[in-house]
Chain A
Amino acid sequence: MTLRRASGEAPFAADLEKPGALHLAIRRSPLAHGRVVRTDGTSARSLPGVTLVLTPDDASGLLDPELRYVGDCAAVVVAEDAELARRRAKLVDLEVEPLVPVLDPDEASVDPARVLARVEVGAGDPTAEMARADRVVERTLCLPFVPAMSLEPSVALTWLDEDRRLVVRTSAESPFRVRGRLAERLGLPAARIRVARPLVAGGAARRASVSIEELCALVTLRTGRPARLALTMEEELVTAPGHPPQRVRVRVGLREGRITSLQVSVLADLGDASEGAEELLRSAGRQALGLYDVGHVAFEARAVRTHRPPTAAPRGADMGVGFALECAVNEAARALDEDPLAFRRPRLPGPREGLEGLGEAPDSLDPQPLALLVDAGARGGGWTAEAASALHAAGSRRARGVGLARRSTGTAAGAGAAASLRLLDDGSLTLAAAPSSAGGADETAYAEAAAEILGLPLRRVVPAAADTDSAPFQSGDPAPAFFATGRAVEEAASMMRQRILEEGARLLGMDPSGVTVNEGAVRDGAGRSVDYAAIGAAALRAGHPLAVTTSPSAVPAPCSSALVFAEVEVDEVTGVVRALGLQALLAGGPYADPRPAEGQAEGALAAAVELALAAGFSLDEAGRPAAHPLRHFSLVSAGDVPPLSVRFLPTGEPSSRFGAAAVGETAARAAVAAILGAVESAVGGRIDTLPATPPRVLEALEPADRR
């Protein structure tokens, strides 16, 4: 599989075409808020090559006359050729009545209709304790909208098969979810829809809310012809869901050198999103409040809807709170003139009550992995107070920063994944597992796990395509998918092994207790054996083919923890920050093959450099991208990525090969805080808005004697 990807043979959604397909292009809203009062497709429709123009009038179930963000879908032009469709889409005569957009999350937060969710939990008496504090460190940090920016564009292709069933190929992560939504929106029975998914590159969540499948399906149902829609990179940047902009206020109350109280308030702007707001806020609380053992805590979070594009959760949309808390703790350590790592050590979480409202109270998070990380970090390699202060003493523009993060995925984790295995008459097996996450190496890992449990070489386990006809039903997108699907595969393979053993024993005329399975055969103690091919063929002939499907019940995924050290260099004249090194310690392992987990963590560290220093774009007062997104969105390139070091620390927890849950998200959030901490150490002042661009860095630059 890996080599098929390396040789360009493995197809992505964009590679799939159907002869005779119609091509769609979207006419997008020029306004952040408006109502389509009249669409005239006549001039577009009358031109050669244009088959169909869809407007809110004639596609009322799908196209809403109310336009809710710049780039929202206003009309669709269908033509024989994609380029033609795009050109003709511009000719649709669109009359939009402007409505007043709500773009300010503060304004949205006072309108109950715009507040999507609100979470308030607390423990102890934070107000009273804060009043008793010797010192209060307060920080307010703003995170921008960051588009997911996957290189693969969203592509959907639909057609009717020989039985006039609707077939959908799409780069969406979860085929069953797409099928369910299509059935609902188009009024078709789900059984009349088959959703097949090729490889998916890049981010997962961004695929969630784009309804390109619905538009294509509608065209196919109306015309009987295949239909294809591929978004351009500019459309992706402007309309694909990204990180929600957030403002997080953290107050840390310190008494006698300890954190004794904590107040966190969050305002997250989810744009046009409507799903998952409450879980996003709870998750943000879990990630952050599980970090430190503080008796008096208040957590208040609101998520609002505004007239900006929808947001989703690439690399953990809930990262703002954990990030802001780490920035505040770094500042508290600085205020007390303490080593930021040593300062964290005695404050690791212990049992406490009052925070059950977060879904999973932080007291159920084992503090052990975090303690291990901090100790290992302190022992060497990662951080020494001497090295850090030496950098400062030299008056250098270099500095170090530290960030800690943990990610608990909540009790629902692990549910909704499924795996099925079938033994064929040549002794090979097909494996269908769902969902498989974006990021790629997972399918191979599933096949390897099954092959190992079944005692077969890898090539004898064939991964099946993700298709609603053949894949086991899977109810949603469990997080983390790798962990959940991996468990399902392991369970299915163990069950299959037992079935093979029983069938082999029957063929050998033995009791199952008298045989063993190894190297692709069932063997008795007397040297007799029957191989998988014979077992598979016998089972098929006997009318009971060996097939196993399993969907394990929910178990909490292991909490993942990360400690990251960052070293940066700041140019005092230009304000340009260069990352010099990132070191991550992650709780987990040992892994039979550490490369997938390492690769995830390395990718996340590189992404953190982008998030901390470059990524994000803002909207102007009319809700339009403030600058041309294709020109001004900065990508981290190989040259910007500093040397990365990733180390796993076994925590003694039972670890399966799929134990590396959410490694990437955890490493990224710790790394962003570490990088910002390092920049602030270097310049002396605060940077309250991400990314730390050169103008913001220069503004935070204090005279050398005050750093």
Chain B
Amino acid sequence: MRVDDEDLHVGATTSLQELVDSPLAYPATAGLLPAACRSARSAVARNAATLAGESVHGDPDSEILASLLALNAVFVDGQPAASCLTLAVRAQGRSVVTIEGLGTSGKPHPIQTAFARAGAVQCGFCTPGLVLRAKALLDWVPRPTEEEVRDAISGLCRCTGYVKPVQAVLAAAEAGGR
């Protein structure tokens, strides 16, 4: 989606997450959101936003918080950002891509396909966050080392032990799939 000036009838502290989350509350944006983006209320983004919102004033150093922030990654003009910490006004005039904008189950992004192939999706709760983080990495470093991949997706997943997600990102890089 593209956030234009007249769409932003929002408060000074409205976060990007709230904007993406509630197109009905911000009717001016609703018409602009492409179908895929309108459903940008992904489980991951929303939960992390709520949780991070709860605790962010309390604790900027928390490892848990860092994990949660990584879960609700979005791209603002191609740069990864935590949707719950990005003020909506900062997204003015910029393009915002959420996991739904990256690919769908019918037309998946190559990174998503690589995740499915590698068996890297277990419960699936953090997978969108992992995929967006991987996308951000591959945009900057098309052929990352394993260590770079680990750095990029650190602190997110409670199911996989990271073996298969790392394999998936490396495979996607190998195939040039960014």
Residues of A within 8 A of B (CB): 2-12, 14-15, 82, 149-153, 199-202, 230, 232-234, 237, 438-441, 593, 595-596, 598-599, 602-607, 628, 630-631, 633-635, 637-639, 641, 644
B63 contacts A10, CB within 8 Å? no
- With contacts A8-B100, A630-B58, A630-B64 known, is A14 near B122, CB below 8 A? no
Of residues 99 through 149 on chain B, the ones whose CB sits less than 8 Å from some CB of chain A are 99-100, 102-105, 108-109, 112-113, 115-116, 118-128, 131
Q: Which of B55, B65, B115, B122 contacts A440 (CB 8 A)?
A: B122
**A668 to B: closest C-beta gap in Å:** 11
Which B residue's beta carbon lies closest to that of A633?
A: B64
Which B residue's beta carbon lies closest to that of A629?
A: B64
Besides A199-B124, A607-B158, 6 other A-B contacts (C-beta < 8 A)? A6-B116, A15-B42, A603-B159, A606-B161, A635-B67, A638-B153
Q: Which of B41, B54, B157 contacts A232 (CB 8 A)?
A: B54
How many angstroms from the CA of A605 to the CA of B160 in the assembled complex? 9
**A526 to B: closest C-beta gap in Å:** 41
Which A residue's beta carbon lies closest to that of B48?
A: A151
B122 contacts A638, CB within 8 Å? no
**A544 to B: closest C-beta gap in Å:** 35
A3 contacts B119, CB within 8 Å? no
Q: Does B95 sit within 8 A of A, measured CB to CB?
A: no
Which A residue's beta carbon lies closest to that of B107?
A: A7
- With contacts A12-B43, A438-B123, A606-B161 known, is A6 near B128, CB below 8 A? yes
Of the A-B pairs whose beta carbons lie under 8 Å apart in the complex, a sample of 28, sorted by A's number, is A5-B124, A6-B116, A6-B121, A6-B127, A6-B128, A9-B104, A12-B43, A15-B46, A149-B158, A151-B47, A151-B71, A152-B123, A201-B124, A202-B158, A232-B55, A233-B51, A233-B64, A439-B159, A440-B122, A440-B159, A595-B118, A602-B161, A602-B162, A602-B164, A603-B160, A631-B62, A634-B63, A639-B150
How many angstroms from the CA of A602 to the CA of B67 in the assembled complex? 19
How many angstroms from the CA of A233 to the CA of B116 in the assembled complex? 28
B55 contacts A630, CB within 8 Å? yes
B154 contacts A7, CB within 8 Å? no
Q: Does B155 sit within 8 A of A, measured CB to CB?
A: yes
How many angstroms from the CA of A234 to the CA of B57 in the assembled complex? 13
Q: Which of A14, A440, A593, A607 contacts B47 (CB 8 A)?
A: A14
**A12 to B: closest C-beta gap in Å:** 4
Q: Which of B41, B64, B105, B158 contacts A7 (CB 8 A)?
A: B105
**A522 to B: closest C-beta gap in Å:** 32
How many angstroms from the CA of A595 to the CA of B117 in the assembled complex? 10
How many Cβ-Cβ contacts under 8 Å join chain A to chain B? Answer: 190
**A82 to B: closest C-beta gap in Å:** 8
Residues of B within 8 A of A (CB): 39, 41-47, 50-51, 54-55, 58-59, 61-65, 67-68, 71, 98-100, 102-105, 108-109, 112-113, 115-116, 118-128, 131, 150-151, 153-164, 166
- With contacts A234-B54, A595-B119, A638-B154 known, is A6 near B112, CB below 8 A? yes
**A608 to B: closest C-beta gap in Å:** 9
Chain A contacts for B59, CB-based, 8 A? 628, 630-631
How many angstroms from the CA of A373 to the CA of B67 in the assembled complex? 36
B51 contacts A641, CB within 8 Å? no
How many angstroms from the CA of A494 to the CA of B134 in the assembled complex? 42
How many angstroms from the CA of A599 to the CA of B156 in the assembled complex? 16
**A459 to B: closest C-beta gap in Å:** 12
A641 contacts B162, CB within 8 Å? yes
Chain A contacts for B113, CB-based, 8 A? 3
Chain A contacts for B158, CB-based, 8 A? 149-151, 202, 603, 607, 635
Chain A contacts for B99, CB-based, 8 A? 7-8
Which A residue's beta carbon lies closest to that of B63?
A: A635
